[in-house]
Amino acid sequence: MTTLPETTDRKLGLVIDLDTCVGCHACVVACKGWNTEAYGAPLSDQDPYGAEPSGTFLNRVHSYEVQPEDGAAQLVHFPKSCLHCEDAPCVTVCPTGASYKRAEDGIVLVDESACIGCGLCAWACPYGAREMDAAEGVMKKCTLCVDRIYNENLPEQDRVPACVRTCPAGARHFGDLGDPESDVSRLVAARGGMDLMPEQGTRPVNKYLPPRPRDKLDQMEQSAPRLDPVIEEPGGFLGWLDRALEKL
C-alpha cells in the first residue's frame, strides 16, 4: 500500500466558480486533447462514431436544474475531476503503489507502468473521479497537467492546466491553495469556497465557489413589468396595411 506524505510543500489545485461556468464543455475537450496527445498513454475511445460510443475522460461537466423555494429556477453546471485530496483514499488503497501523492506540490498521480488495473482506487474514491482506460487497462485521472505547469518551453501564461487555459468564461482558477495569500486562496475566502462532500473526510484541495442567488420572482416582475398595448387598432398607413393583409 502507498502511504501519504505527512505534509506537502504546496497544495496545487483548482477553484471552480459554479456561478460563472456556462457548461460549454470547452474544459472537457481541452483536457481530452492535451492528455491524449501529451502526457502518458492516450485516452482511448471505443466505437466513437457508433451506436454506443464510450471513452476515457479526466474531466466531465454535469448539469442540474435547481429550483429555490422563493426564486426562479436556475441551471447549475458542475465540472468534476480529481480533487487531489489531502487524505486521498485512492492512494492508501492501491496495492502496487501506482497511485501516489507528491510531497512537493500535493498532486495525486498514477504510475501507469505499475498500475495493474484492479480498480480499487476507483472503488475508494467517493467522487467517481477515476476512469479505467479500456484500451490500456490502467486507471486514468486528472494530473493537473503536470507536464504543462512545469514546462519552461511553454510561454508563462500557458503553464496552467489545459482546462484553465481554455475556459472562455474564466470559471476555472489554478494556484497554491496552501498559501493563504495566493490569488486562489483569496478567492475562496471572499466567495465562501466549499469542499465537495466534506463528510467523507478526504480534505479535497480543489474548491467550489457556490452560485450566487438569482433574482426572486417578485423582483423580476417589478424590474420588467408587462407592457400594455399602446393602441387597440392601428391607424393611418399601418391600419390600411393591416386591413389589406387580412384580405389576402
Tens-binned pLDDT, residue by residue, of the chain (248 aa): 678 999 999 999 999 999 999 999 999 999 999 999 876 678 999 999 999 999 999 999 999 998 877 777 889 999 999 999 999 999 999 999 999 999 999 999 999 999 999 999 999 999 999 999 999 999 999 999 999 999 999 999 999 999 999 999 999 999 999 999 999 999 999 999 999 999 999 999 999 999 887 666 555 555 555 656 666 676 777 778 878 888 77
Quick check: pTM over 0.85?
no
DSSP assignment of the chain, as one string? -PPPPS--S--EEEEEETTT-----HHHHHHHHHHHHSSSS---EESTTSSS-EE--S-EEEEEEE--TTS--EEEEEEE-----TT-HHHHT-SSS-EEE-TTT--EEE-TTT-----HHHHH-TT---EEETTTTEEE---TTHHHHT-TTS-GGG-S-HHHHH-TT--EEEEETT-TTSHHHHHHHHHT-B-SSGGG----S-EEEPPPPPPPHHHHHHHSPPPPPS-SS--HHHHHHHHHHHT-
Q: What are the φ/ψ torsions at residue 80 (nearest 5 degrees)?
A: -140, 130
Q: The C-alpha cell of 85 is what? A: 485530496
At residue 23, the pLDDT reads 96
Question: HEC states along 186-242?
Answer: HHHHHHCCECCCHHHCCCCCCEEECCCCCCCHHHHHHHCCCCCCCCCCCCHHHHHHH
Domain boundaries, the chain: 12-222
At residue 235, the pLDDT reads 73
Produce one character per residue of 46-79: b if its CB has 16 or more CB atoms within 10 Å, e if not.
eeeeeeeeebbbbbbbeeeeeeeeebeeeeebbb
At residue 37, the pLDDT reads 83
At residue 72, the pLDDT reads 75
At residue 224, the pLDDT reads 57
List the CATH code of the domain at 12-222: 3.30.70.20
Longest dimension (CA), the chain: 87
In the chain, the amino acid numbered 117 is G
In the chain, the amino acid numbered 144 is L
CA distance 212 to 232: 42
